[in-house]
Amino acid sequence: MQALWRFIASVFKWGWRILNFIRNAVLNFAFILFLLIGLGIYAQFQQSTIRPDTGALLVNLSGTIVDTPSSDSKLRQLGQELIGGNKDVQENSLFEIVKQIRYAKDDPQIKGIVLSLNNFLGADQPSLRYIGKALKEFRDAGKPIYAIGDSYTQSQYFLASFANKIYLSPQGSVTLQGIATNNLYYKSLLEKLKVTTNIFRVGTYKSAVEPMIRDDMSPEARKADSRWLNTLWSNYLTDVAANRNISTAELYPDMDQLLKQLKANDGDTASLALKNKLVDELASRPSVEKQMTEFFGWDEKNKNFNLTSIYNYPVPEPENKDLEPSEIAVVFAVGAIVDGPEMPGMVGGDTTAKQLRDARLNKNVKAIVLRVNSPGGSVSASELIRTEVQALKDEGKPVVVSMGGLAASGGYWISTPADYIVASPSTLTGSIGIFGVINTFENSLGAIGVHTDGVSTSPLAEATITKALPEQFSQMMQLTIERGYKTFINLVAKSRNKTPEQVDSIAQGRVWIGSDAKNNGLVDELGDFDDAVKKAAELAKLDKYQINWIRGEPTLSEILFGQVSVQSMLPDAVSALLPAPLRQVASDIQKQPGFFNNMNDPGHRYIYCLSCSYN
């Protein structure tokens, strides 16, 4: 017996030592991580304080531009700098970039802007246009803008077109390929896996469920998408052609004409871009550097022309004595709408509703701008947000919706109570429809010899993903979906002063581009974020005000563990090991919104626009 007790005591002793080791390891890891973060922040701060007396603002954007970077974006960026990896995932704040360019316009130390966009991955068209507006203001103030690049992608060239002069490498090109939608379709895969997909929907054009029930795009979806896609491309060509003082035909000839021109030019894409007036000069990097040095002077210490990177160009906050007590609060709804708290890249119904409630209870907030850039998502989460928008309106605080690149389905649902809706001509909105999806796996399990059986008190209790759905449950789901659609069109009808029949004629899940949405009465004005703020001030009768940017803050656990995925820090070499077709599929899956992994509506009802993604 004594030997047994000694053995048990020994087990507890070693167990305690192991627990202590794990605890110390975790604490040491946390301490090192905090230390690295602190050193990184300090280094960035030190770097940001060093700038030449005069020179260029180097707009060397890397990664993508979003309305508001996810809470983990900065930490991911720091982690990549510390351990290596692909830095192209960096997210840049649209409004911070615009604020910096506008501040530089009046900064006597900034003599011009140099757009260096080789690492810029893109943004939606409304975001590009908003930055372009700030660049035009800078240029109209008498300060020059130069665009330099080895080659230009479509998004890069849109911003470059605002420059006074565009440089291109003699071996480079300007790639304007147009716009396309590409979704993955899973019908055959689900059939091979013997997954039963139960679909409940209303809306002829509600194509969000098509990937699960088809292997291709339906004719109705193809027709609807073709309309907004062609308008979106037309808007791009019109804007860029106007910036370059050429016709859209000169900017983008038809394919036969382009091939003929390229053949006559012996395949030289750079000289063809120069001949077609897409760029102003073909120049190597040393030649460009020499010209930039002539314009901005030479920085002997950094061995470059005098410049300040936009990443080292902080805009000072106004002093407290200059602050106005009246505020216009800006609340963001960016990403798919899901139930619960906010997650990176998604709109948490609870989080956004709380932010709107806080703005309602804040006596200094006199008006609210709800910035919507969302394809929609959960009905219950969207309704939670909508009721808070309605409460603001009932409180007498004006609400103006500023639509970004996308404000469809649930993004439009939460916008319905607003006093005023401002959209870009290139915003994708509408998609007024609803659907439900429940996958069951009775056939999949049966194929491997697993079956479900039991007793229940009602057919509703029988509903489980391991068995076929009872017919009565399916009928109830369809009735619930139809009720949800009626609710949706009634909300729109009430807010837009239309009859439900009028709304139904432009609903049915159909996606509209901003200009068509305006013609159909779904939005009030075509404009940008500045126009939305101006309208909010007008409705609140404010002559002076300050902007209160309301953004979610990451929790301690998110900072330490939750948001730094190993995948985001993997070196490029790991991705390069994948065969090219698999890399393309992985890329397409990443581009497809992460909605299907976060379908958490308690009633299985969704207002979501999957077909609104494009590249």
Q: What pLDDT digit, counting tens, does each position of 514-572 carry?
A: 999 999 999 999 999 999 999 999 999 999 999 999 976 555 444 444 443 333 333 44
Asked whether the CA dihedral 148, 154, 160, 161 is positive or negative, the reply is: positive
pLDDT at 428: 96
DSSP state letters, 192-260: HTT-EEEEEEE-TT-GGGHHHH-SS--HHHHHHHHHHHHHHHHHHHHHHHHHHTS-HHHHS--HHHHHH
The whole-number average pLDDT for the span 65-90 is 60
Residue 515's Cα: distance from chain center in Å? 21
Q: How far apart are CA 139 and CA 611, in angstroms?
A: 37
pLDDT of residue 35: 57
Across 93-119, average pLDDT? 96
Distance of alpha carbon 256 from alpha carbon 411, whole angstroms: 40
Q: Nearest to residue 344, comparing CAs of 41, 115, 75?
A: 75
Residue 178 pLDDT > 50: yes
State the amino acid at position 340 in one-letter form: G
Distance CA 394, CA 398 (A): 9
pLDDT at site 613: 77
Select the more confidently predicted residue: 585 or 480. 480
| CB environment 439-454: b (16+ within 10 A), e (fewer) | bbbbebbeeeeeeeee
Q: How many CB atoms lie within 10 A of CB 553?
A: 8
Q: What is the mean pLDDT of the chain?
A: 83
Task: Cite the beta strand spans of 280-374 per DSSP E.
Answer: 281-282, 298-299, 304-305, 307-309, 327-334, 336-338, 346-348, 365-374
Question: ∠ at Cα 85 (82, 87), nearest 5°?
Answer: 90
pTM: 0.84
Question: Residue 148: beta bridge partners?
Answer: 116
Q: Which residues contact 399 (CB under 8 A, 6 or more apart)?
A: 367, 368, 369, 370, 389, 392, 393, 417, 418, 419, 420, 536
Strands (E), 72-118: 91-93, 110-116
What pLDDT shows up at residue 491?
96
35-60: average pLDDT: 64
* pLDDT digits 0-9 by tens, 238-289: 999 999 999 999 999 988 999 999 999 999 999 999 999 999 999 999 999 9
pLDDT for residue 52 = 64
The larger pLDDT score, comparing residue 450 to residue 357, is at 357
Average pLDDT over residues 102-113: 96
Residue 42 pLDDT greater than 50, yes or no: no
What b-and-e string marks burial along 488-521, b requiring 16 or more CB atoms within 10 Å of the CB?
bbebbbebbebebebbbebbbbbbbbbbbbbebe
The confidence band for 170, taking pLDDT boundaries of 50, 70 and 90, is very high
* Rounded-to-5 percentages of helix, strand, coil across the chain: 50, 20, 35
Q: What is the pLDDT of residues 377-421, one digit of tens each?
A: 999 999 999 999 999 999 999 999 999 999 999 999 999 999 999
Q: Which of 11-20, 150-159, 603-612 has the lowest mean pLDDT?
A: 11-20
Please tell me the least confidently modeled range out of 55-64, 124-133, 469-478: 469-478
Using DSSP bridges, classify how beta strands 399-408 and 428-430 pair: parallel, antiparallel or unpaired: parallel
pLDDT at 4 over 80: no
Mean pLDDT to the nearest integer, 133-151: 97
How many degrees, rounded to 5, is the angle at CA 157 between CA 512 and CA 167?
170
Handedness of CA 199, 202, 208, 214 (dihedral sign): positive
Task: Calculate mean pLDDT across residues 565-590.
Answer: 44
Q: Identify the band that residue 441 occupies on the pLDDT scale cut at 50, 70 and 90.
A: confident
Q: Which two tokens stand for residue 612?
A: 């609104």
Distance between CA atoms of residues 352 and 359, nearest Å:
11
| Residue among 258, 227, 252 nearest 240 (CA) | 252
Question: C-alpha distances in angstroms, 67 versus 247, 345, 403, 551, 558?
Answer: 31, 11, 11, 11, 21
Q: How many residues does the chain have?
A: 615
Backbone angles phi, psi at 204, to 5 degrees: -60, -35
User: What percent of the chain has pLDDT above 70?
Assistant: 79
- Cβ count near 11 (within 10 Å): 10
Among 247-251, 456-460, 505-509, the minimum mean pLDDT is found in 456-460
Amino acid 3: pLDDT: 53
CA distance 488 to 415: 11
Burial (CB count <10 Å: 0-12, 13-18, 19+), residue 128: buried
Mean pLDDT over residues 2-23, rounded? 56
Q: Are the CB atoms for 452 and 432 separated by under 8 Å?
A: no
Closest to 52 measured CA to CA, from 233, 308, 379, 324: 308
Most confident of 51-55, 87-91, 210-214, 564-568: 210-214
The Cα 490–Cα 495 span in angstroms is 9
Q: Does residue 56 contact residue 308 with C-beta atoms inside 8 Å?
A: yes
Decide if pLDDT at 5 tops 90: no
Task: Please report, as a single letter, which amino acid is at residue 455.
Answer: V
Check pLDDT > 60 for residue 485: yes
Kindly tell me if the per-residue pLDDT of 158 is higher than 80.
yes
Contact 162, 463 (CB under 8 A): no
Residue 352 has a pLDDT of: 96
**Single-letter code of the amino acid located at 321:** K
The amino acid at residue 494 is K
Q: State the pLDDT at residue 553.
A: 59
Q: Are 411 and 389 in contact (CB under 8 A)?
A: no
Is residue 253 within 8 Å of 272, Cβ to Cβ? no
Calpha distance 95→131 (Å, rounded): 9
> Under 8 Å CB-to-CB from 526, ≥6 apart: which residues?
422, 423, 424, 425, 514, 515, 518
Provide φ and ψ at 592, rounded to 5°: -70, 125
Contact 546, 538 (CB under 8 A): no
If you average pLDDT over residues 123-148, what whole number do you get?
97
- The pLDDT value given to residue 26: 56
Of 56 and 223, the structure prediction assigns the larger pLDDT to 56
Look at residue 88 in the predicted model and tell me its pLDDT.
Answer: 44
Residue 28 confidence (pLDDT): 59
Distances (CA, A) of 174 to 116, 171, 392: 14, 11, 48
Enumerate residues 6+ apart whose C-beta is below 8 A from 40: 78, 81, 82
For tokens 């047994």, name the residue.
4
On the question of pLDDT at 116 being above 90, the answer is yes
From CA 297, how far away is CA 52, in angstroms rounded? 10
pLDDT confidence of 20, banded at 50, 70, 90?
low
Look at 200 and 528; give whichever has higher pLDDT. 528
pLDDT in tens, 418-437: 999 999 999 999 999 888 87
- The alpha carbon dihedral of 239, 243, 244, 246 has a sign of positive
Catalytic center residues: 206, 409
**Owner of token pair 């209160």:** 548
Q: Which of 306-320, 439-453, 518-532 has the highest mean pLDDT?
A: 518-532
